[in-house]
Amino acid sequence: MSRYINKITAINDLDIYKKTLEKRGVLRIEQYRTPSLKQFETSELDFIEKVWMDGDSFWKLSDEFYGDPKHWYLIARFNSAPTEAHIKIGDTIKIPINLSAVLQVVER
């Protein structure tokens, strides 16, 4: 299931982008709105801790723990780290272990 289903969109047709839009041959661009993300309560979910090592990435951990790399954003959100650049080698991160439980918390 795509995480973009039922997401709010916005139409970008501002005058300051008029020349750029004309160059692209479009009148407007439909964009996904930036969501307000709720922080996870770690007490709501079971998780394991892992020391971040050289070569780690959210998508690789998602593939390892959930069997699918597309859920990388759940691990990132659970750790309040939007990208791998926000984590240093040696940091301890938390990986929620029950994918369906995590998805239920996100969809609330």
Residue 58: phi, psi to the nearest 5? -60, -40
CB 50 within 8 A of CB 87: no
Contact 60, 69 (CB under 8 A): yes
Q: Which pLDDT belongs to residue 5?
A: 73
pLDDT value of residue 84: 94
Tokens describing residue 6: 């039922």
Place of tokens 């139409």: 11
* Domain 42-107 CATH class label: alpha beta
Q: Enumerate the domain spans of the chain.
A: 1-36, 42-107
Give Cβ neighbours of residue 65 (< 8 Å, ≥ 6 apart): 75, 95, 97, 99
Residuewise pLDDT in 10s, the chain (108 residues):
566 677 788 888 888 888 888 999 988 888 887 666 666 666 778 999 999 999 999 999 999 999 999 999 999 999 989 899 999 999 999 999 999 988 888 776
